[in-house]
Amino acid sequence: MVDVENFNWEGLLIDIGIIAAQIIGILIAFLIVKAIGNRVIGRFFDKLTKKGDVTKGRALTLQSLAENVFSYVLIFILVATIFSIFGLSVASLIAGAGIVGLAIGFGAQGLVSDVVTGFFLLLEKQIDVNDYVTVGNLDGIVEAVGLRTTQVRSFDGTLNYIPNRDITTVSNHSRGNMRALVDIGISYDADIDKAIAVIQTACENVTLENETIVEGPDVIGVQAFGMSDVTLRVIAKAKNGEQWAVERQLRKAIKEALDANGIEIPFPHQVNITKNSEQA
Amino acid sequence: MVDVENFNWEGLLIDIGIIAAQIIGILIAFLIVKAIGNRVIGRFFDKLTKKGDVTKGRALTLQSLAENVFSYVLIFILVATIFSIFGLSVASLIAGAGIVGLAIGFGAQGLVSDVVTGFFLLLEKQIDVNDYVTVGNLDGIVEAVGLRTTQVRSFDGTLNYIPNRDITTVSNHSRGNMRALVDIGISYDADIDKAIAVIQTACENVTLENETIVEGPDVIGVQAFGMSDVTLRVIAKAKNGEQWAVERQLRKAIKEALDANGIEIPFPHQVNITKNSEQA
Amino acid sequence: MVDVENFNWEGLLIDIGIIAAQIIGILIAFLIVKAIGNRVIGRFFDKLTKKGDVTKGRALTLQSLAENVFSYVLIFILVATIFSIFGLSVASLIAGAGIVGLAIGFGAQGLVSDVVTGFFLLLEKQIDVNDYVTVGNLDGIVEAVGLRTTQVRSFDGTLNYIPNRDITTVSNHSRGNMRALVDIGISYDADIDKAIAVIQTACENVTLENETIVEGPDVIGVQAFGMSDVTLRVIAKAKNGEQWAVERQLRKAIKEALDANGIEIPFPHQVNITKNSEQA
Amino acid sequence: MVDVENFNWEGLLIDIGIIAAQIIGILIAFLIVKAIGNRVIGRFFDKLTKKGDVTKGRALTLQSLAENVFSYVLIFILVATIFSIFGLSVASLIAGAGIVGLAIGFGAQGLVSDVVTGFFLLLEKQIDVNDYVTVGNLDGIVEAVGLRTTQVRSFDGTLNYIPNRDITTVSNHSRGNMRALVDIGISYDADIDKAIAVIQTACENVTLENETIVEGPDVIGVQAFGMSDVTLRVIAKAKNGEQWAVERQLRKAIKEALDANGIEIPFPHQVNITKNSEQA
Amino acid sequence: MVDVENFNWEGLLIDIGIIAAQIIGILIAFLIVKAIGNRVIGRFFDKLTKKGDVTKGRALTLQSLAENVFSYVLIFILVATIFSIFGLSVASLIAGAGIVGLAIGFGAQGLVSDVVTGFFLLLEKQIDVNDYVTVGNLDGIVEAVGLRTTQVRSFDGTLNYIPNRDITTVSNHSRGNMRALVDIGISYDADIDKAIAVIQTACENVTLENETIVEGPDVIGVQAFGMSDVTLRVIAKAKNGEQWAVERQLRKAIKEALDANGIEIPFPHQVNITKNSEQA
Amino acid sequence: MVDVENFNWEGLLIDIGIIAAQIIGILIAFLIVKAIGNRVIGRFFDKLTKKGDVTKGRALTLQSLAENVFSYVLIFILVATIFSIFGLSVASLIAGAGIVGLAIGFGAQGLVSDVVTGFFLLLEKQIDVNDYVTVGNLDGIVEAVGLRTTQVRSFDGTLNYIPNRDITTVSNHSRGNMRALVDIGISYDADIDKAIAVIQTACENVTLENETIVEGPDVIGVQAFGMSDVTLRVIAKAKNGEQWAVERQLRKAIKEALDANGIEIPFPHQVNITKNSEQA
Amino acid sequence: MVDVENFNWEGLLIDIGIIAAQIIGILIAFLIVKAIGNRVIGRFFDKLTKKGDVTKGRALTLQSLAENVFSYVLIFILVATIFSIFGLSVASLIAGAGIVGLAIGFGAQGLVSDVVTGFFLLLEKQIDVNDYVTVGNLDGIVEAVGLRTTQVRSFDGTLNYIPNRDITTVSNHSRGNMRALVDIGISYDADIDKAIAVIQTACENVTLENETIVEGPDVIGVQAFGMSDVTLRVIAKAKNGEQWAVERQLRKAIKEALDANGIEIPFPHQVNITKNSEQA
């Protein structure tokens, strides 16, 4: 039974006061150490980049990681210190956790999974800050790689926070030259050989102007029979990040070349057979 | 065998009366403490915001969290007190839980998962109150971030309660400038260079009027060959939250500029070939 | 080996008779207590509502919960009593459950999950009786919120029983004003400025008549370029539950205003190019 | 090493004979008890229904459950008896199960899940025999509710056996009046007010003839702008099970009323713009 | 360290020889027992069917199960015997399995799940050999029901082996009469009452000819408003397995009756509005 | 603390040398034994096939399995031997595995699942080498059945390695005669009886020429009412593997027969209603 | 309580200094050993390839694996050494892990799964570097096979890092000749026999020119009845990697042959029935 009347309210208040003072002191210390730590990390990586030992992207990645690890370690120390004020050591906490601990273990399992995945993302250099990547259903530019989450900025400006455990297959679009691909439909009536020749010439003119084209572009042949057109495919290789600009330039050039040579890009066709309505 | 006849009904009733009185007393105390606590939290954050130490959104977030934590702690104390009336200490409950405890542990696993995720949502500042976010299949404005659930209000007025465990990837649309994108289809007959020039001029006029446009808008080229039109793409960067208004303004301006210059936005085209019905 | 011949059939029958009599007595007691309990709960909440301390919906929710808890507690007592007739105490049952208990624990895990979720649904006031909600793939009006299942009645009259564990994200459509949205397609030939003016006037006339409109309606601009029309969007805010009536009223008014001003809502357009059949 | 030569084949055969005789005896007893038990259950529920204490559907549900429980209890006793012939007690079986038992526990976990769900299906009266329900992807009439499986007969005559664990959300279409809904598309040229008046009159005539209509039918307004028509919606409430007949009757009556008043239900429309083929 | 030089190769070879001889002897015994056992099972079920105690399908099901159980028991005995040659008792194997056993237990968990499901498939008579069923995404005729897998032959001749654990909901199409359903679209111009009368007469003529029709067929009314037609629905009940033949016969009869009465089944309709091309 | 200076580098190098020598010796022995073993297995199955005791496909299956088992056993012995060089016995490894072992157990759980499934695939003769099967989303010809993976070659030449655990339902297309099915759409104007007669005659002519047709082909009736045609269905049964050739032959024959008899396979039909544009 | 004043800050700093020095020393050693090790591995595989004992692709695969294993072993030693500086042995770490260890075990379970799968990928030679494979939803050329991840370069230039656990079914397109398949639609009016002859001749001419064609190409017959065309199928077998080039060449040749022989590849057909608008 709870003895409500004789409860020592006064003693409790004093205890609370002392503990509160201690906690506030610890929090202030925590904020100071965090600010200093982050400044030291920042300077270290500035020097590193100036010396040119590592690429800019790699340096940014490692810096954001270092800040990340530093901040989690500080928080762990903070929590452990506050616990010790209440007379609980971390060791005994873990040891005595028993079933509650197991339940938390299962619940926090995803956290461990985040950290393990994050560790290998960095170790195997799968993504660096400023890479253009596709992870899950999202694609965009990597802004930060942390132990628990990775931040990717979509092209529309959205900032996505992705837990590392959700990053399984990483498609990194910033590792080498990229392909530019243009499909053009020409009329079934058109002379295929002539069309290929016209498009090939247009492509070669583009290559002369544009230095970001590494290979091609070349017409590789009849890719498909469409409903109303014969599809020809053009393939080129462009410097990383330039593939879309190359594709746009190629589309414009090919369109103008076909127009100049009287080769039609056909609209959908339909054969109409007229029947007098006996039924109506 | 149950001894129905000699059961001491009287004693049971008195016991129940005493216990009921105790429980009611505890509940009243609970309600008073809760009301006072919430008022204290409210005042504290009012002052904090007035001093301007933190942004409005962050203050709201922390306040709703503080109330949340406060209320769960109170409930835990309440339950433990009521249990102790029945002579059960929380410690012995946990210790003696055994298999039943394990079963509950598995069942309540989602709860732990909610709290762990909620903790990191706040620690890593992934979402603040008033942010426009997409989580899961829902998007809307964040109304509250709690340890267990996050409340998001859809644009149609619906209030969504999302358990934190279901918040994996957070797409936050309130972190920096946003892209405005308009695709326009022009006729295959049209002069691409002239069309680009007309649209570019229209875009620049919009920029002069609208201060929320940060970058562009620019016509980036031929994006695709459509069934009946050549698609041109316009891209701009607008202040956060203004991207839709900018897109609507651009669409109106471009439409009027194309009309004025006699450049057609074409309807679907079809080539009809008439065949006399030999079959019918 | 089973000793079939000397088995004491008589003694068994007498035992069965006594036990059956006891079970029947307990069942009758159970039914009486249940009826009385439900009446008491009903009266209590009637008074509560009349005093006006709580809203009608909240009172219904709490009443259905109270009946629910009461009925599960009764069933638990019933089962425990019947077990004790067979000389099995609940405590020993739980203690001795061992592997079988674990298996059941896994199987019944969903049950615990139901109760935990149900508890928080109520604690966080996510749904009340008579709210219009979407949970999972179902939407409708909440009829009852229990510890294990929630009952939602679809608009077509179906009554859905949803286990609480399947209620993750709750979309509650009864929490504040709702948006009314109407999209109208006008002809590519039409004067956009005139059309906007006509629609805006029609909208303002509707606002004068209809008191459930809280904000707007306003034409916000050119939402999209359609295949055959330019889409304009109208947005308003209506009192909760009135949004569909407002949308229907707006649609009728806008249609009549456009007709009166000779602005066409266009049918699908197609450009036909006739080619003499050289092939056929 | 196996000692093949000296193996006592004779003794083995005699042992097998005795055991076989015992098993056959037990099986015969089992079949007799089962037949008697089922007849007793049948008579009991017949009387119960005649007295009118419970509805017909509820009685059928409880009867099929009673037979179900009776048959599983008999099988359990049968298996335990046969095991005891081989000198194995059920208790020692369970106690000594160890790792094998755990493996089976995991495998049979679904079974426990079936029974727990089945128990609550019945306790909460979610489905009765003869209800029209949707569970999972199936809908039909409930034929039997058992502890492990529920049998639902589709409207095409198929009998579906659904394990109870797969019955999560139950949509019961036999709990109260049902909505009848008819959408009609009228021409963009038509007078909306006149059309609504004509349909409303037709609906009211149907109500006079048909007693299964509980509420309405009413034309609620312009539901949508279609490609070629303006959609009007009619809503009514019908007695349970009669909603489809009401809808069919409404469709016929509305069609005839519109015909009689010269209001067209339009075919798809298309605007054709002819262009002389400059390209071909 | 491995002592390669002094290893007793000779002794090893002799040991291998003895063990091989034993294994071969056991295998021969195994094959003989299996052949005899299968013949005994076959004869037993032949007699059973001739006496007419059970239906043909049920007998086939039980026979295939009996062979199945017999063959697994033999294999278990075979493996245990071979193990005992190497001096390993099954008991010690299971007892000493420890962590490896647990791992296997998890891996083989699906096996237990197969057997448990298979047992209930048979006990509850959900499927018999020769039934036409749908399980998972497959439908066809059941060829065999085993403890681990069920064999279903698709109508295209493919034989599907389905693990019992994948058989959750069973849709058995061989349990009672089946519905035949035909939808016919008639012209919007047609007289609905006349059309219904014509179709009803045609249906009744079919019933006279075809004895497999149990109920109906009846025209139940206007099922839907189509794009270009008014859909009427005809429903009948046919003997199991005859529903498709009935549907085909009904379709032919209805088509001919409509033709004879001049009621059109309409092609898709479109209203064309010609606009002179101002734009082109 | 690590004592870097006094570490005995020399002794370590000698130890490494000895161990390396032993490992190399063991590896050579391993390669020799593997080569000999495979040759012995190959010869054994050659003889077996020549004697004609088993079918060719079954022999290939068993041979590939035998090589598979042999190779895993060798690798296990190899690893155990190398471990023993380092003074670790397999037994102590397993016994002392503890938590690490459990973690591996969970990770390797899929492996056990592969072997268990593979064992039953073979025992129940679900697939043989050279069978045409569908497993998961893949179909093709089985090239090898192993304990861990099954190899299936797609018709386009791709070789697929499928882990056995992913092989749940096996659809084996090489077990008996297969159905050939051809659907033909005839005009709504055509005489159904005449069309059926013409197609039936054409089918019978094909049967005379083609010996791989086992049953039929027969016109079974009106399968569906299409948008513009009445669909007739033809069904036949062909020898396994010949069904596609039969279908192609039937299609050609039916097309030619319909042409010869003036029965049209209709193109899509549309009824056009011309309306003078009042709106434009 | 934390004794903040008397804490020995000086001693802590010295300890940190010593430990830091040790860690730096170990890191330098680690980098040197890694560089040497990689060079040794590189040279070894260079020699191996020159001797021609293994194919180039296999050598690259094994080299990348060797570097991979070497690098993980080094990191493990590095971590263990650093731990030992803090007085923690790896053994005691594992032994004392308890619940924390179990939690990590569950979290890192995917890692074990990666390594097990990776091991079998290599052992069973499912993929080699430079193979063209499809794994999951990705296809491309294998760049590296590691114990944890496999790198595949898509044809558009993207480099994909795939965790091995996500590689279940491997579709390897570099194991033998590949099929080239071309479908051609001819007019319903055309003579099927003549069309087959023309296409067959065209195909044979292609075979004469192109040495990468291994088998065929052959016209196999009427594959389908299309909406407006009769589909003929051509199949050939080409050398691995050449199938697309062969298909493109075949398409061009067949198109030109059909043109030359006046056989039409038809556009979509539609039969139009004109009805005078009685309704409008």
Residue F271: closest CA among chain D residues belongs to which residue?
A: D267
Residue E210 pairs with which residues in a beta bridge?
A: none
Cα separation, E1 vs F84, whole angstroms: 7
- The verdict on B159 and B183 lying in the same domain is no
- The verdict on A96 and A143 lying in the same domain is no
> Which of chain G's residues have a Cβ under 8 Å away from the Cβ of F249?
221
In a domain, E3, yes or no: no
- The verdict on D241 and D159 lying in the same domain is no
Report the length, in residues, of chain A: 280
* B38 or B254, higher pLDDT: B254
The predicted model gives C12-34 an average pLDDT of: 78
The two structure tokens encoding residue E161:
């082996």
Is B267 touching D (CB cutoff 8 A)? yes
pLDDT category of residue G105 using cuts at 50, 70 and 90: low
pLDDT category of residue F4 using cuts at 50, 70 and 90: very low
For chain G, give the longest Cα–Cα distance: 105
Is D280 touching B (CB cutoff 8 A)? yes
Residue G267: closest CA among chain B residues belongs to which residue?
A: B273
> Among residues F256, F260, F235, F232, which one has the least CA distance to residue F246?
F235
> Which of chain B's residues have a Cβ under 8 Å away from the Cβ of C176?
153, 157, 159
The two structure tokens encoding residue A20:
């509160």
- The verdict on D102 and D15 lying in the same domain is yes
- Selected for mutation to probe chain G from F9, F153, F158, F228 (highest G CB count within 10 Å) is F158
B278, pLDDT greater than 60: no
Q: For the ranges A183-187, B259-263, E161-165, G104-108, which has the lowest average pLDDT?
A: G104-108
The two structure tokens encoding residue G265:
């590849």
Residue ending a domain, among G75, G107, G139, is G107
In a domain, C268, yes or no: no
In a domain, G213, yes or no: yes
| pTM of the predicted structure, to 2 decimals | 0.77
The predicted model gives E37-57 an average pLDDT of: 74
Q: How many domains does chain C divide into? A: 3
Is A172 touching G (CB cutoff 8 A)? yes
Q: Please give, rounded to a whole number of angstroms, the shortest distance from the CA of E31 to a CA of chain F.
A: 14
Contacts of A74 (CB under 8 A, 6+ apart): A30, A33, A34, A37
**E103 and F100 Cβ atoms separated by less than 8 Å:** no
Note whether E221 contacts D108, CB cutoff 8 Å. no
pLDDT category of residue C98 using cuts at 50, 70 and 90: very low
Q: For the ranges A144-148, B89-93, B189-193, C256-260, which has the lowest average pLDDT?
A: B89-93
Binding-face residues of D in 38-57 toward E, CB within 8 A:
none
Which pLDDT tens digit goes with each residue over B217-265?
899 999 999 888 999 999 999 999 899 999 999 999 999 999 999 898 9
Is G19 touching F (CB cutoff 8 A)? no
Which pLDDT tens digit goes with each residue over C177-203?
999 999 999 999 889 999 999 999 999
- The verdict on G64 and G127 lying in the same domain is no
- The verdict on D80 and D129 lying in the same domain is no
**How many CB pairs below 8 Å do chains A and F form together?**
4
Note whether C280 contacts A271, CB cutoff 8 Å. yes
Residue G74, pLDDT score: 76
Range D78-103 burial, b when 16+ CB lie within 10 A, else e:
beebbeeeeeeeeeeeeeebebebbb
Cα separation, E150 vs E105, whole angstroms: 23
Which pLDDT tens digit goes with each residue over E165-198?
888 889 999 988 999 999 999 999 889 999 999 9
Tell me which amino acid residue G154 is: S
In percent, how much of chain F has pLDDT > 70?
A: 78
pLDDT category of residue C246 using cuts at 50, 70 and 90: very high
CATH of the domain at B227: 3.30.70.100
> Which of chain G's residues have a Cβ under 8 Å away from the Cβ of E267?
273
CATH of the domain at G19: 1.10.287.1260
CA atoms within 13 A on the CB side of E137: 6
Cα separation, C140 vs C131, whole angstroms: 8
The predicted model gives A119-139 an average pLDDT of: 86
- The verdict on C187 and C139 lying in the same domain is no
**Terminal CA-CA length for chain D:** 93
Cα separation, D218 vs D237, whole angstroms: 10
In a domain, G6, yes or no: no
In a domain, B68, yes or no: yes
Dihedral sign of CA atoms G229, G235, G238, G240 in order? positive
DSSP-derived letter for residue B232 is E
Is D277 touching B (CB cutoff 8 A)? yes
Residue B104: closest CA among chain A residues belongs to which residue?
A: A103
Range D131-161 burial, b when 16+ CB lie within 10 A, else e:
bbbbbeebebebbbbbbbbbbbbbeebbbbb
CA E72, distance to chain mean position in Å, is 23
* Placement of tokens 């370069």 in the chain: G153
Is G273 touching B (CB cutoff 8 A)? no
Listed ranges C95-99, D186-190, G11-15; the one with the highest mean pLDDT = D186-190
- The verdict on E135 and E99 lying in the same domain is no
The predicted model gives C270-280 an average pLDDT of: 69
User: How many CB atoms are located within 10 Å of the residue A211 CB?
Assistant: 9
CA D274, distance to chain mean position in Å, is 56
Residue ending a domain, among E107, E136, E164, is E107
Cα separation, E23 vs C126, whole angstroms: 69
Which pLDDT tens digit goes with each residue over A211-231?
899 987 899 999 999 888 999
Is B280 touching G (CB cutoff 8 A)? yes
- The whole-chain average pLDDT of chain B stands at 79
Is C271 touching E (CB cutoff 8 A)? yes
G145, pLDDT greater than 90: no
The two structure tokens encoding residue C19:
């036990």
- The verdict on D152 and D72 lying in the same domain is no
3-state secondary structure of A158: coil
- The verdict on D224 and D168 lying in the same domain is no
- Angle at which helix E56-85 crosses helix E109-123, to 10 degrees, equals 150
- The verdict on F17 and F74 lying in the same domain is yes
Cα separation, G135 vs D57, whole angstroms: 54
Minimum-distance CB partner of F267 among A273, A277, A280: A273
User: What ranges in chain G are assigned the alpha helix state H?
Assistant: 9-51, 56-85, 90-95, 98-107, 109-123, 192-209, 243-260
Is E280 touching C (CB cutoff 8 A)? yes
> Among residues E247, E220, E244, which one has the least CA distance to residue E232?
E220
Cα separation, E223 vs D248, whole angstroms: 6
Contacts of F126 (CB under 8 A, 6+ apart): E149, E161, F120, F170, F172
Helix (H) or strand (E) holding D44: helix D9-51
User: How many CB atoms are located within 10 Å of the residue A253 CB?
Assistant: 22
Which pLDDT tens digit goes with each residue over B10-28?
666 776 677 777 778 888 8
Residue ending a domain, among G147, G172, G197, is G172
In a domain, C130, yes or no: yes
Which pLDDT tens digit goes with each residue over G152-186?
999 999 999 998 888 888 999 998 899 999 999 99
Phi-psi region of B262 (alpha: psi -120 to 50; beta: other; left: phi over 0): left
> Which of chain E's residues have a Cβ under 8 Å away from the Cβ of D272?
272-275
In a domain, B222, yes or no: yes
Contacts of B249 (CB under 8 A, 6+ apart): B206, B209, B210, C221
In a domain, G88, yes or no: yes
Residue A1, pLDDT score: 39
**G71 and G8 Cβ atoms separated by less than 8 Å:** no
Residue C86, pLDDT score: 60
Residue G130's domain spans which residues?
A: 118-172
CATH of the domain at A162: 2.30.30.60
Is F227 touching D (CB cutoff 8 A)? no
- The verdict on D196 and D212 lying in the same domain is yes
Helix (H) or strand (E) holding A172: strand A170-172
**How many CB pairs below 8 Å do chains C and D form together?**
156
* Residue F137 burial by Cβ neighbours in a 10 Å radius (0-12, 13-18, 19+): exposed
Is F169 touching D (CB cutoff 8 A)? no
**A157 and B176 Cβ atoms separated by less than 8 Å:** yes
The predicted model gives C200-223 an average pLDDT of: 90
* Residue F61 burial by Cβ neighbours in a 10 Å radius (0-12, 13-18, 19+): buried
